Amino acid sequence: MSERRLGVLGGTFDPIHYGHLRAGEAAETALALDEIRVVPAHDPPHRALDPKASAFHRFALCALAIEGKPGWRLSDGELTRTGPSYTAHTLRALHAEGWKPSQIFFILGSDAFAEIATWYDYPAVLKSANYAVVARPGTTLQAAWERFDPAVVADPSVSEGSTGFFRVNAETPNVSSTDIRARLSAGLSIDDLVPPPVARYILNHRLYVGGPPSAFAQGATADRESGQHDQSAAVNDLHGKTEH
């Protein structure tokens, strides 16, 4: 029997959007992953500024975004850990759960992969999991690969039980959390950038905006009770689904 495969989708998720979700789905399909663990960061070390939304709100947004996706689970492991949210620490926690490095596939975009040499505990962190690199607008897989020396890890195709890198060729939406926050600040729609429950939650809680509600926001939040129900149902349904 083949070993189970765990995908780990980490990030600040400020907010989570279709780009994150499509990357996870692409890796899930290409690598036959049995489970996807979504891990919001508490204190992202590579961001100069703190997240705009609180850890509570970002956790709730992730819960809404993955609701109804079989095999996807939400983890509060980094949110409950003090200090910077280092990938190396998250992977060690998974090892402590019983996951072997060869079973873990850390999912990241080609833009993040291009900077992996700056990560905490590099290059040792490369042996703590496999890395599933998904093409992202602005940084091709080839461009990211040219900035990295693959010789620092073994080739999993020839060394059983070792870890390595897997290129996932997929078209992901050209969307970023920065763009979403800018659109919200300008009173513009984000309906095509995030799942509907995520958009409702953001507008209901007036995240990433200031001043009086715009005409768009007033119209989009008319169904406030529905939005609050989405939040409550998703977070409550995490009982038994949240990984600590």
CB proximity list for 69: less than 8 A, separation 6 or greater? 36
Q: What is the pLDDT of residue 150?
A: 60
* SS3 label, residue 150: helix
pLDDT digits (tens, 9 = 90+) for 137-188: 776 777 777 766 665 544 555 445 689 899 998 889 999 999 999 999 999 9
Question: Which pTM value belongs to this model?
Answer: 0.83
- For the segment 190-216, the average pLDDT, to the nearest whole number, is 83
- For the segment 9-29, the average pLDDT, to the nearest whole number, is 97
How far CA 124 is from CA of 99, 153, 157, in Å, comes to: 17, 9, 20
Q: Give me the domains of the chain, ranges plus CATH numbers.
A: 6-168 (3.40.50.620), 177-236 (no CATH)
Q: Measured between alpha carbons, how far is 13 from 239 in angstroms, rounded to an integer?
A: 21
Bridge partners, 94 (sequence order): none
The answer to whether residues 201 and 227 touch, using CB atoms and an 8 Å cutoff, is: yes
Asked if residue 69 has pLDDT above 50, the reply is yes
The answer to whether residues 195 and 24 touch, using CB atoms and an 8 Å cutoff, is: no
Q: What is the pLDDT of residue 160?
A: 56
Task: List the strands of the sheet with 72-74, edge to edge.
Answer: 72-74, 35-40, 6-11, 104-109, 130-134, 165-168
End-to-end CA distance of the chain: 27
How far CA 62 is from CA of 25, 100, 127, 195, 230, in Å, comes to: 15, 26, 28, 10, 12
- For the segment 208-220, the average pLDDT, to the nearest whole number, is 51
